[in-house]
Each structure stands twice: as C-alpha cells, then as structure tokens.
Copies of this chain bind each other. A is one copy, B any other.
Amino acid sequence: MGDVARLAGVSAQTVSRVSNGFPGVTEETRRQVLAAMRELGYRPNSAARALRRGEFRTLGVITFSLSTMGNMRTLDAIATSAAREGYAVTLLPVAVPTQDEVNGAFSRLGELAVDAVIVILETHLLDAATVSLPPGVPVVVADSDAGDRYTVVDTDQAGGAREAVRHLLDLGHGTVWHLAGPEDSFAAQRRTNAWRETLTAAGRTPPPLVRGDWSADSGYRAGLRLADEPGCTAVFAANDQMALGLLRALHERGRLVPEEVSVIGFDDIPEASSFLPPLTTIHQDFAEVGRLCVEGVLGKMRRETSGHGTTLVPTRLVRRHSTAPPPNR
C-alpha cells in the first residue's frame, strides 16, 4: 500500500480510501491511485484487513465429509447466497460422524477465520460439541431439531411425510408401509414419526417399520423383503435413492409399479423423473434452506435477530408415475 501511495504521490490513507470506494477523493486522484495499483499489481491483504476490521467476511460450514446429496445441495445454496452477500464460505469437513471428529472440527473452528457458523449435522452429535464454540459466534443449524437451543432452518420433514402418506391414502390404499432412514438421523426420525401419526390419525394400523441407511442398496435389500409381503400395496421411502433400490427389487420380483405397488420417495433428486417408472416424490427446496441459513447468520451478525426458533421450508408433492390406486381384490 505504501508503494502504491508513493507511486501515486499520495498518502497510504488515500490509497485505502480508493481501495474501499470511500467518498472524498477527487476523480483525478482516484485515477492516479488506480493506475498505480494496476502498475504494481497491488492486492489488498485480506489478513491485515480482517485484523483491522475485526471481521473476515467468511462463513464456516460444518458438515460430514461424504455427505448426502441433500447436504451437498444445501451447501451449494449456502455458498451461492453467501457470495451474493459478499461472504466467502469455508468448509469444515468431518471425516466420520463421531463425537470426537465433530469436537475436532469445532475446535479447529475456534482458530478459523470465520464470522459465523452454519452446521449441517445431526443434533445428537452437536450437543456435546458446541461448548467449544467461541462465544458470540452466530450459529444456525440446518437439518436438525434443537429449535430451543439453536436457530434452526429445515425442510418441513413432518409436513412432507404427511403429504406423502395422505397422497397414498387418498388413492385408496388401506395402509402405507415405510422404508425409513437410519435411526440416528433426525430427518429420518421426523419422517417416520409423521408417517406413523398420519396413519394413526386416519385410523389405520402402521405396518412394521422397515429400515434402510439412505443408500439405494439398502432400499434394494428392503424391497426384496417388502415384495414378499402380500398386503403391501403402498410404500413411502424416506428418500429417493432408497426408492430407486426399492423399485429395482419390486421389478425383479415381478411386482408391477404402480399397478400392484405404489412407491413414493422424498427429496425429488433430478434423476427421480427418469426412474422406472418416474418417481412420485416429495420435493425439498434445498436452495431455500441454504438461503435462509445464510440470512439467519447474517441477521444475527447484524444483531437484527436473536434468540432461537425453527424456520420450516415447505415441501411439495410431485406426482409422477410410481403411485396409483391399489389393485382391485
């Protein structure tokens, strides 16, 4: 900065003013400074800036390393929204979803150049971890409950699951089987609970729960079992990948979809419309979740908002061709 100032024949402060677009600089002076900057290839040093200003203009995102599609898309939306606000996004990958790893990520975070944190993580791992967060750092949690302890932004998991089950009941199915996600996922839990409640509220008996691990393979294995259940005419899979595996298993067992068995997914991944048959599913607005996460932490940083609470992003039923009325008996 000093070199630029010398070359332009001004003081360093004037260079600073130009570099920050502050008023009170003659057009003439500004041009000279800009010319000097270009000639010397000047770049403001962001470390010095951050030190001086006390902020990094950077958001940290903690998430699992080999994460799900949905998390990736949320991350993508976060990065885009943050960029629009002039913030960069720093990734804090957690290799394995264990408490130790999460604690490690949070303690690294303590030393990290970050103004706020967005967490995309299962709540139970979060509980013990947050203690090591530097106090005063705004946090928003995606994909979790804990609205009483943190600010949470999430898809309306329960609403979506309810919509899925209702759709199948409305088509005339006596009950709806459920291919659930892993036990330790809160999103999976909420979908499962909503499934059970909707069924019970409609006076139906929930069939035994079938559990997968989000992967298409686990959906396939579960599907093999479900194909042999004679009374099974409708299945609500907790995500599209498992629905894909389910579809394959039913096909291999000669069970027609949707004529004999209806299948509905959750997420609406881009490929869902190309499944065989095209999958009816619950659309999640990941972009909106990401946007609201960024809005949330920025609001906290500007002290506009405070306190906790949960913001729910609505889902949408996408009707395609994997659901139909049950076969006549």
Q: Give A contacts to B, CB under 8 Å.
A: 41, 43-48, 50-51, 56, 58, 65-67, 72, 76, 79-80, 83, 88-93, 95, 108, 110-113, 134-135, 215-217, 219-220, 241, 244-245, 247-248, 251, 270-271, 273-276, 278
Contact = CB atoms under 8 A, between A and B. Distances in A.
B220 A111 contact: no
Contact of A65 (B45, B47, B48, B76): B76
A273 B251 CA distance: 14
B112 A46 contact: yes
A17 to B, nearest CB: 16
B93 A90 contact: no
B79 A93 contact: yes
A196 to B, nearest CB: 27
Contacts of A41: 134-135
Contacts of A80: 65, 93, 95
A244 B244 CA distance: 11
15 contacts: A41-B134, A43-B110, A47-B47, A47-B48, A47-B51, A65-B79, A80-B95, A83-B95, A83-B108, A88-B92, A90-B91, A113-B113, A220-B274, A247-B276, A248-B278
Contacts of A220: 274
Q: How many copies does the complex hold?
A: 2
Contacts of A251: 276
List the 6 closest pairs (A to B, CB-CB), nearest first. A216-B274, A47-B50, A47-B51, A79-B93, A46-B113, A245-B274
Contacts of A67: 76
A50 B43 CA distance: 15
B274 A244 contact: yes
A91 B92 contact: no
A111 B219 contact: no
Contacts of A245: 274
Contact of A88 (B48, B51, B90, B274): B90
A266 to B, nearest CB: 15
B91 A216 contact: no
B51 A274 contact: no
Contacts of A276: 247-248, 251, 276
A74 to B, nearest CB: 12
Contacts of A58: 90, 113
B50 A113 contact: yes
Contacts of A51: 45, 47-48, 51
A81 to B, nearest CB: 9
Given A56-B47, A111-B44, A271 B274 contact: no
A273 B47 contact: no
A64 B242 CA distance: 28
B241 A111 contact: no
Contacts of A270: 215-216, 241
B88 A91 contact: yes
A27 to B, nearest CB: 22
Contacts of A79: 65, 91, 93
Contact of A111 (B43, B76, B216): B43
